[in-house]
Amino acid sequence: MKKRIVIIGMGFGGIHAARTLAGKGHEVVLVDRNNYHLFQPLLYQVATAGLEQESIAHPLRAMARHWQPGTRFELAEATGIDFARREVHTDARTIPYDYLVIGAGSVTNFFGLEGVQRHSFDLKELKDAEVLRNHILTAFERAVHEPDPARRRALMTFVIVGGGPTGVEFAGALIELVHFVLAKDYPELSTRAARVVLVESNDKLLAAMPENLQDYTLKKLRRMSVEVLLNARVVDAAPDRVIFHDGAVIPAHTLFWSAGVKAAPLAAALDVTAKPGGRVPVEPDLTLPGHPEVFVIGDMAYFEQEGLPLPMTAPVATQMGIYAGQAIVAKEAGSPVKPFRFRDKGSMATIGRNSAVARAFGINFRGYAAWLIWLLLHLYYLIGFRNRIVVMLNWVWYYWYHERQVRLITHRTGGHRQFEECK
């Protein structure tokens, strides 16, 4: 009998759940507040003028058309779920379901630091990358006309909080943008005086990586002129400064926050006792306790394996999405469903041109080899043939010419509240 399967959230988990269920004889309804799937791992390259926004996004209706028959997309934001009536409430309409897959993802966790939340940037949405790119480029434009050397220095100081993959990759891309591209665009500025400061509260970067790769990353970033501050915590911020736990202050007009995430607000509407980070505890088959027809996947799901919760990463979400799709097919066929188990295939982070770290197939890679692995895997997982070509051409152009073509300021009125409040 044909069933209606509603999938909330078209991130990595939702996309792979939909792909697994496509063509299996059921009605699959895809629900997302955006009409595109976003390849979040490359958002920082949009923010640092390396890629166009459109090259890391793919229309969801095009995917649904490709997965026909039985798959359709609805542009809506889920606001609540009635488990008794098996209905999803959205800002557009109510959608009934037989099976439900919830993969609404995560939002940035500022840990209650109101000043930081107000005066910092993050990268979760496509628009965030454009806003941050506008701000970075506008900072240099303003620095050109700034007569006060101290304020000029603050305009060219960028503080990045969080020593995970996002922070490391953004720091490396930003320092290269400054030294190899903006140095030529702004000959009247001494861009070597620009500062990129990476702040990590622990005593190491890339905590999930082996120690030798952590050491390599730290040394490489410092050789690139990134200032790395370990065992340091940002506790407050203002439009023109960043404040640390020990009272130290760095004058800066740009604060980028990548120090943590928490489950999307929809998790709070599920009426369950949340785990750390607002995540939803799930059964061994990723279903919501007491609701075997409801699967929770990706960043929202709290699932322990070998005594530790799985991280909120794309590989985890991808495998959960595939599993949820397969589990629904198995249930409809009357077949047993094995418990979910995450298979760690490794992790990686790029540091800069010709330099990355990777742990894959039980082997540690660093330098050029890891950089090639990173490039190839990101191209492979990027959705859309056109997007792969565009991204590859941008990377080749930058590799040979040290030139980033997307140095566009598309919004001139301040760029961000930091500038507005400092007038």
Task: Work out the pLDDT band at 418, boundaries 50, 70, 90.
Answer: low
413 has a pLDDT exceeding 70 = no
User: If you average pLDDT over residues 201-220, what whole number do you get?
Assistant: 96
d(CA 114, CA 96): 38
Tell me if domain 4-33+76-108+261-333 and domain 114-259+346-421 are identical in fold: yes
- Burial of 190: CB neighbours in 10 Å, binned 0-12, 13-18, 19+: middle
Q: Domain 114-259+346-421 is of which CATH architecture?
A: 3-Layer(bba) Sandwich (3.50)
pLDDT tens sequence across 179-210: 999 999 999 999 888 999 999 999 999 999 99
Give the pLDDT of residue 415. Answer: 44
Distance separating alpha carbons of residues 374 and 213, to the nearest angstrom: 15
The pTM of this model reads 0.94
Specify the pLDDT at position 362: 84
Calpha distance 162→108 (Å, rounded): 12
Give dist(CA 131, CA 413) in Å, integer. Answer: 11
Element (H, E) at 99: strand 99-102
Averaged pLDDT of the chain = 94
| 3-class DSSP state of 229 | strand
pLDDT at 68: 83
Task: Name the catalytic one among 27, 54, 125, 169.
Answer: 169
- Over the stretch 221-278, which tens digit does the pLDDT of each residue have? 999 999 999 999 999 999 999 999 999 999 999 999 999 999 999 999 898 999 999 9
Which residue ranges make up each domain of the chain?
4-33+76-108+261-333, 114-259+346-421
- Write down the CATH number for the domain with range 4-33+76-108+261-333: 3.50.50.60
130 catalytically annotated: no
Least confident of 149-153, 359-363, 407-411: 359-363
122, pLDDT greater than 90:
yes
